[in-house]
Amino acid sequence: MKWKSPEPREYYSKYKKIDVKNGNGWFECYELPGDVYAICEPQHLQEVNCFLIFGKERALMLDTGMGICNIRPLVQELAGGYFDTLQIVNCHAHFDHTGGNWRFHEVLGADTDLSRRQAITGVGSEPLSSQTDEDMFLFGYPQGFKPEEYCIRPYEFRPCADGHLFELGGRTVEFITTPGHTEDHAMLYDHRDGILFAGDMIYFGAIYVQFNNDILGHSNIEDYIASLDKIKARCKGLRSIYVSHNDFITDPSAIETIKAAMEDIISGRAAGKPLHDAMYGYYQDPPTMKEYFFDGFSVIADR
């Protein structure tokens, strides 16, 4: 597979790697500017990132990863004395962000049917089977992982309102609902350092706006654009964007770049290529989804 390369991704060299005891040979941890730790899973194609955000008195965590390995001991190690009061938020209910949720007492997220339903039912192995193909793993399955049993377990969920402020001690982090990728997508904005945690909506890789089912939810490209506008208006003093896949940090100019790409797709100015790749779990015959290629990223859309 194209994504596989024996060398570590070059972008990791920009950040300070933390030596951790509980990485399990699976998780890696990096220290980012602004009292933030990133926990990543570079051995799975999703290359998903979780974040721990520290204030003077409390910490907040964004997402719990794929649930392939146990993230809890690592979070305990990194959060230290902040672990007992740690709050966890999901940027949305997709499996790659919610897999470790059940290991914690409660997780907050946007108040939608999708997020409420998934917390109650979880996601069974069958809809996730494309994710556990051995080709999705850089060095094969981690020890003890049983692909046929991989699923998202139910978890305790608490809805979080748009504009809710997490007070971490000398640091306020705002929860902002941003539908588009899915109806329950949300971002976190750190008012102290101007850091936007943008989840799956602003990054340089494949951007997904094609979901339309009860498990993965519903994308909406017009909502996506409206959410990017909302972020621009709400995040005064925005300085950097931390994202949930691939390289951790991107520049605020990415908002305009991605918004322009979405507008080009809607208006027909951009031409897409019909998507056939069964490996990624969105095979359709005849194909109705297209991948649109832009400078440094692509958009997969249902039109």
| Binding residues for Zn ion (CB under 5 A) | 96, 200
Give the nearest distance from C-beta 6 to Zn ion in angstroms.
24
Closer Cβ to Zn ion, 54 or 282, answer by number: 282
Residues paired with residue 164 on neighbouring β-strands, in sequence order: none
CA distance 220 to 65: 24
Give the nearest distance from C-beta 166 to Zn ion in angstroms.
21
Closer Cβ to Zn ion, 184 or 200, answer by number: 200
Q: Which of 162, 173, 160 is nearest to 61 (CA)?
A: 173
First to last CA, the chain: 26
DSSP code at position 73:
H
Give the nearest distance from C-beta 81 to Zn ion in angstroms.
30
Give the nearest distance from C-beta 217 to Zn ion in angstroms.
12
Burial class (CB in 10 A: 0-12, 13-18, 19+), 260: middle
Closer Cβ to Zn ion, 96 or 247, answer by number: 96
CA distance 149 to 262: 37
CA distance 198 to 301: 19
Q: Centre a 10 Å sphere on the Cβ of residue 268 and count the other Cβ atoms it contains.
A: 9
Which tokens sit at 201?
Answer: 């909506």
Closer Cβ to Zn ion, 35 or 291, answer by number: 291
Closer Cβ to Zn ion, 87 or 182, answer by number: 182
Give the nearest distance from C-beta 245 to Zn ion in angstroms.
6
